[in-house]
């Protein structure tokens, strides 16, 4: 570093005035540099270079330490970094010294220096020492000691000021990063759960709240196994990876009972130094559908097998050479074949219809439909197949406005509802269809006195493949598609369908359809 200032070592001892002037200027220059530095590192680099210039020395070093911690190199000039590091481990200065100390020798600082001066600075929280050394035989005088003492004090203040600034900036950066991370965690769709070493929940994001229904107030700060007791049972089956980037962060799908509900969660865990973070998403719906599909395949196979066996048996009997099938038996066997193949066809049609009923390609017409006549037809058709202990009746005002809809699709809906009413009334009873117009719409009530439907299942029975509790419907055949098809068809006709039921007392299904406008 170049300096425009004259030498700090006046050769003329008489010229005290000049000497003082030079030293004041040197001091001002060093203080300016000290104050200009933006970081502790920059301070170290600038000030040591300037110290060598000002003291006509070859080596300068500034060491500092926070509180009682070890000293580190703020900056050095004329030393290799390992030499500077080694000096941090030497006692440069008597720890009790409060004023600059000077030394002369042949190998000072173990770098061959001949003259050394060290000045302490600070106390708490920052303390340190500034050292300047010459390789030539010229010891430091009193004036230089005074200059170094003053310079050391301002370096001490600067180190402390810069350290605070750096700490503040680091805190700001950390807070900013944390804020960013919190925003990301807050907005992702996966539930995120973080537990510390003691398994206390430290983070529970909004998705975790939404998936589990447990608010952060009841989870945060509590033992995980206490907040979610079912976690103890699944903890062992979860794979917790140690490296988030590793490909072995495998998700495990497990059922977890939370607040009385069974959720199927796909959970990944990653361990880190202070705890574990789990990310999870909800597969309950997907799992339920899988289950329903599996049940559907099982019931449908069963349902198809019964009529198939009847058709097969009747055909085989007709084919036998050894048995002469008489007229009446012959007719009965043909009726079995015809009725059972109708049943098979209806079932296959239902399955096909269910697969496209929610697609826009399915055509649903809008015509004027006389519902009373249509219902009478449906009741007659079901009555023919229903068991004897059932009474079927139609209750309707003498004249009714027509509804706007698709006649054949509505026939299918009503057949479904009335056939269900018959199917789920194994002990017989009354089935009543009541038609009631009101406010531009027609309500069609289909009532039975059968098994009824549990409250929890009333919203589920309209789902594809859903069949209510097997115990209740045991022995009653079905595929779980009828109400799904009915709901979709009614929706397409601009209407609604709902159910009210008391288990053991019966059910009432209500279809509401818009009335046809006079012109339509
Ligand atoms: P399924 O082919 O099983 O009858 P649906 O979709 O028509 O299929 O009905 C779904 C489920 O709703 C049935 O399995 C049954 O448990 C229940 N359900 C429908 N109608 C009635 C009713 N009238 N009474 C009692 N339960 C009914």
Mean of per-residue pLDDT scores for the chain: 88
Give me the residues paired with residue 134 across strands.
115
Ligand 1 mutation target, pool 348, 467, 475, most atoms within 8 A of CB: 467
Residue 248 pLDDT: 60
Residue numbers of the chain with a pLDDT score lower than 50: 1-5, 471, 520
Find all residues with CB under 8 Å of 282, minimum gap 6, and list them.
Answer: 191, 211, 263, 264, 265
Beta carbon of 464 within 6 Å of any ligand 1 atom: no
What would the two tokens of residue 287 be? 């799992």
Determine the atom of ligand 1 nearest the C-alpha atom of 448: 23
The DSSP line for 308-352 is HHHHHHHHHHHH-SSS---HHHHHHHHHHHHHHHHHHHHHHHHHH
The residue contributing the CA closest to ligand 1 atom 8 is: 480
Give distance in angstroms: CA of 467 to centre of ligand 1: 6
Beta carbon of 432 within 6 Å of any ligand 1 atom: no
The residue contributing the CA closest to ligand 1 atom 2 is: 478
Residue 9 pLDDT: 54
Beta carbon of 412 within 6 Å of any ligand 1 atom: no
Residue 4 pLDDT: 46
Beta carbon of 100 within 6 Å of any ligand 1 atom: no
Residue 247 pLDDT: 58
Beta carbon of 506 within 6 Å of any ligand 1 atom: no
Give distance in angstroms: CA of 474 to centre of ligand 1: 11
**489: which DSSP letter?**
H
Distances from the Cα of 200 to the Cα of 149, 228, 310, angstroms:
53, 12, 64
- CA 321, CA 48: separation in Å to the nearest integer? 119
Give distance in angstroms: CA of 375 to centre of ligand 1: 20
Distances from the Cα of 229 to the Cα of 232, 257, 367, angstroms:
6, 8, 58
Determine the atom of ligand 1 nearest the C-alpha atom of 481: 6
Q: Which of 36, 88, 90, 39 is nearest to 65 (CA)?
A: 88
Give distance in angstroms: CA of 468 to centre of ligand 1: 7
The residue contributing the CA closest to ligand 1 atom 12 is: 461
Beta carbon of 507 within 6 Å of any ligand 1 atom: yes
Residue 510 pLDDT: 98
Beta carbon of 468 within 6 Å of any ligand 1 atom: yes
The residue contributing the CA closest to ligand 1 atom 13 is: 467
The string of pLDDT tens digits covering residues 406-431 is 999 999 999 999 999 999 998 889 99
What would the two tokens of residue 215 be? 């608010």
Q: Which of 12, 322, 26, 20 is nearest to 142 (CA)?
A: 20
- CA 27, CA 403: separation in Å to the nearest integer? 102
- CA 21, CA 10: separation in Å to the nearest integer? 11
Beta carbon of 265 within 6 Å of any ligand 1 atom: no
The residue contributing the CA closest to ligand 1 atom 25 is: 452
Ligand 1 mutation target, pool 292, 299, 420, most atoms within 8 A of CB: 420
Residue 7 pLDDT: 52
Q: How many CB atoms lie within 10 A of CB 12?
A: 8
Q: Which of 135, 148, 165 is nearest to 102 (CA)?
A: 148
Give distance in angstroms: CA of 443 to centre of ligand 1: 20
Beta carbon of 453 within 6 Å of any ligand 1 atom: yes
């Amino acid at each position: 570093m170049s300096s425009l200032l004259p030498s700090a070592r006046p050769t003329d001892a008489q010229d005290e005035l000049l000497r003082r002037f030079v030293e004041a200027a040197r001091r001002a220059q060093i203080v300016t540099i000290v104050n200009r530095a933006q970081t502790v590192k920059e301070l170290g680099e600038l000030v040591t270079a300037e110290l060598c210039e000002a003291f006509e020395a070859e080596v300068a070093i500034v060491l500092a330490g926070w509180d009682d911690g070890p000293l580190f190199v703020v900056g050095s000039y004329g030393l290799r970094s390992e030499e500077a590091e080694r000096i941090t481990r030497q006692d440069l200065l008597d720890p009790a010294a409060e004023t600059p100390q000077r030394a002369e020798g042949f190998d000072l600082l173990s770098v061959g220096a001949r003259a050394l001066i060290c000045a302490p600075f600070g106390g708490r929280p920052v303390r340190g020492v500034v050292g300047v050394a010459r390789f030539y035989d010229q010891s430091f005088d009193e004036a230089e000691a005074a200059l170094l003492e003053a310079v050391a004090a301002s370096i001490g203040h600067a180190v402390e000021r810069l350290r605070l600034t750096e700490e503040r900036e680091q805190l700001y950066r950390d807070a900013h990063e944390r804020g960013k991370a919190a925003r990301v965690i807050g907005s992702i769709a996966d539930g995120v759960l973080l537990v510390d070493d003691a398994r206390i929940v430290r983070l529970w994001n909004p998705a975790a709240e939404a998936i589990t229904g447990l608010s952060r107030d009841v989870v945060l700060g509590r033992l995980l196994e206490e907040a979610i007791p079912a976690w103890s049972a699944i903890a062992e089956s979860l794979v917790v990876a140690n490296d988030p980037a590793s490909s072995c962060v495998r998700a495990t799908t497990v059922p977890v009972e939370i607040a009385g509900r069974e959720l199927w969660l796909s959970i990944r865990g990653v361990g880190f130094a202070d705890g574990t973070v789990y990310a999870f998403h909800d597969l309950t719906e997907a799992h339920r559908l899988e289950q329903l599909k599996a049940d559907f395949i099982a019931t449908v196979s069963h349902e198809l097998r019964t009529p198939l066996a009847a058709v097969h048996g009747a055909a085989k009997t007709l084919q036998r050479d050894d048995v002469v099938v008489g007229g009446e038996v012959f007719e009965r066997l043909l009726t079995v074949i015809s009725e059972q193949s109708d049943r098979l066809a209806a079932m296959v049609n239902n399955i096909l219809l269910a697969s496209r009923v929610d697609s826009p390609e399915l055509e649903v017409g809008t015509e004027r439909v006389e519902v009373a006549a249509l219902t009478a037809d449906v009741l007659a058709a079901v009555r023919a197949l229903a068991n004897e202990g059932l009474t079927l009746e139609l209750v309707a005002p003498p004249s009714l406005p027509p509804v706007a809809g698709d006649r054949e699709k509505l026939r299918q809906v009503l057949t479904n509802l009335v056939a269900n009413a018959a199917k789920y009334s194994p002990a017989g009873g009354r089935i009543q269809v009541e038609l009631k117009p009101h406010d531009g719409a027609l309500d069609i009530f289909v009532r039975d006195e059968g098994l009824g439907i549990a409250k929890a299942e009333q919203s589920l029975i309209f789902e594809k493949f859903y069949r209510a509790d097997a115990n209740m419907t045991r022995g009653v055949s079905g595929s779980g598609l009828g109400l799904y098809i009915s709901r979709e068809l009614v929706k397409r006709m601009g209407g609604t369908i709902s159910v009210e039921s008391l288990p053991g007392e019966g059910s009432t299904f209500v279809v509401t359809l818009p009335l046809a406008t006079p012109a339509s």
